[in-house]
């Protein structure tokens, strides 16, 4: 049990949580939408502090992060819970556990142990992933601070639904993020996720303003968010953040409560990738299709193949100090070896 951050006491014993865009008002004895923050007598507690449900050493490309310390390993962690209710969730067993199973599980692991394990396994980053890092904010915040002081970087793999207060609080220790931009319609977010689009867009703009390296993922679901108009709207928005922002277009597979739809056709992914490139984005990738050319990084200036990938494995890298080996153009991204954050002109 640990008292939560970012909340206010209001009338009686009610509290107002300011962690995510739901901004839940929580009565005594009740929990927020996330299912892991509980009001006890007018004090809000996090129920998942030091309750680790998943940990693994992953290639950073699996997040997916293709332009942040490529080829390195990331120590990936999660607790149970989420502030979304996506009916297509690919990690629903743990993300929806508080709601579906009415229980909270996890191994007691301290922030100090997490950082030590990351260093022991030669990871350069800690990734807060699998579920939604916003809802285990206090745990992530303590881990991230320790990690930063010991030379590690921190990455959120997130739905982007944190408040500005939360983002500004974690910002000094947040170096990169992969944000799900699940759709560009309010209807999709309300019906499929139980959330609102504007909160995600605001977080993306603020992350870029704060200097967090951002990559964006869109899971393309047949018949729901795969129209040409919607994909163009997403691409234009990402371009407004900066043409250097990588867009990962991921293939849907039937999961959780959405078993009535077929996997996304490769043709649709190719069309989406072309839409992104035509909109002026420098880096557009296809995901969940191992061996597809859309996994690779090409120079936006001369078109040469720079990073040859197979799934999450780098087969060949021709980026030399953030530069294209052929024309010398700066390839956008974060290089931990040199400490530089390259950005093309």
CB-CB contact of 45 with 109 (8 Å): no
CATH label of the domain that carries residue 246: 3.20.20.70
Q: Which of 12, 27, 46 is at the close of a domain?
A: 46
Give 10-residue mean pLDDT values along the chain (345 residues). Answer: 95 95 97 97 98 97 96 97 97 96 97 98 98 98 98 98 98 98 98 97 98 98 97 98 98 95 95 98 95 94 96 92 94 76 55
pLDDT at 345: 52
Single pTM value for the model: 0.96
Range(s) of the domain holding residue 41: 2-46
DSSP states of 168-216: HHHGGG--EEEEE---S-HHHIIIIISS-HHHHHHHHHHHHHHT-EEEE
pLDDT at 337: 67
Do 142 and 217 fall within a single domain?
Answer: yes
Residues 37 and 120 in one domain: no
Domain tally for the chain? Answer: 2
Residue 188, Ramachandran bin (φ over 0: left; ψ between -120 and 50: alpha; else beta): alpha
Return d(Cα 161, Cα 305) in angstroms, integer: 35
**Which pair of tokens denotes residue 9?**
């006491």
Measured CA distances, 230 to 51, 234, 262, 322 (Å): 39, 6, 19, 33
**Looking at the structure, do residues 32 and 172 belong to the same domain, yes or no?**
no
The verdict on 36 and 182 lying in the same domain is no
Both 292 and 338 in one domain: the answer is yes
- CA–CA distances in Å: residue 173 to residues 65, 66, 75, 140, 168: 17, 20, 16, 10, 10
Q: How far is residue 67's CA from residue 279's CA, in Å, rounded to a whole number? A: 20
Q: What is the DSSP string of 92-146?
A: HHHHTHHHHTS----B---HHHHHHHHHHTT-SEEEE-SS-GGGGHHHHHHHHHH
Question: Do residues 160 and 266 share a domain?
Answer: yes
Looking at the fold, whether 331 and 189 belong to one and the same domain comes out as: yes
337 contacts 319 by C-beta, under 8 angstroms: no
Same domain (yes/no): 79, 214: yes
């Amino acid at each position: 049990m640990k008292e939560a951050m970012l909340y206010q006491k209001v009338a009686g014993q009610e509290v107002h949580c300011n962690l995510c865009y739901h901004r839940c008002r929580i009565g005594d004895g009740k929990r927020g939408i996330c299912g892991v923050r509980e009001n006890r007598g007018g004090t809000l507690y996090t129920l998942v502090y030091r309750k680790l449900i998943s940990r693994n050493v992953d290639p950073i490309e699996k997040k997916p992060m293709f332009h942040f310390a490529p080829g390195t390993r990331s120590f990936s962690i999660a607790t149970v819970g989420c502030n979304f209710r996506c009916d297509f969730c690919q990690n629903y067993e743990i993300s929806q556990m508080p709601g579906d199973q009415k229980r909270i599980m996890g191994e007691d692991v301290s922030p100090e142990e997490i950082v030590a394990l990351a260093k022991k396994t030669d990871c350069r980053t800690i990734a807060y992933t699998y579920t939604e890092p916003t809802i285990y904010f206090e745990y992530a915040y303590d881990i991230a601070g320790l990690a930063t002081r010991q030379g590690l970087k921190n990455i959120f793999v997130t739905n982007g639904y944190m408040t500005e207060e939360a983002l500004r609080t974690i910002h000094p220790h947040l170096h990169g993020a992969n944000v799900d931009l699940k759709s560009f319609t309010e209807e999709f977010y309300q019906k499929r996720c139980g959330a609102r689009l504007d909160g995600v867009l605001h977080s993306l703009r603020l992350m870029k303003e704060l200097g967090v390296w951002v990559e964006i993922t869109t899971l393309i679901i047949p018949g729901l968010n795969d129209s040409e108009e919607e994909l163009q709207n997403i691409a234009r928005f990402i371009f407004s953040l900066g043409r250097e922002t990588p867009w990962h277009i991921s293939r849907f597979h039937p999961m959780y409560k959405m078993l009535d739809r077929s996997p996304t056709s490769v043709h649709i992914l190719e069309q989406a990738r072309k839409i992104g490139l035509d909109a002026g984005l420098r880096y557009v990738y296809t995901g969940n299709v191992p061996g597809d050319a859309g996994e690779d990084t090409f120079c936006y200036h001369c078109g040469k193949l720079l990073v040859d990938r197979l799934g999450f494995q780098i087969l060949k890298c021709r980026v030399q100090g953030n530069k294209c080996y052929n024309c010398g153009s700066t390839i956008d991204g974060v290089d931990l070896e040199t400490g530089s954050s390259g950005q093309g002109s």
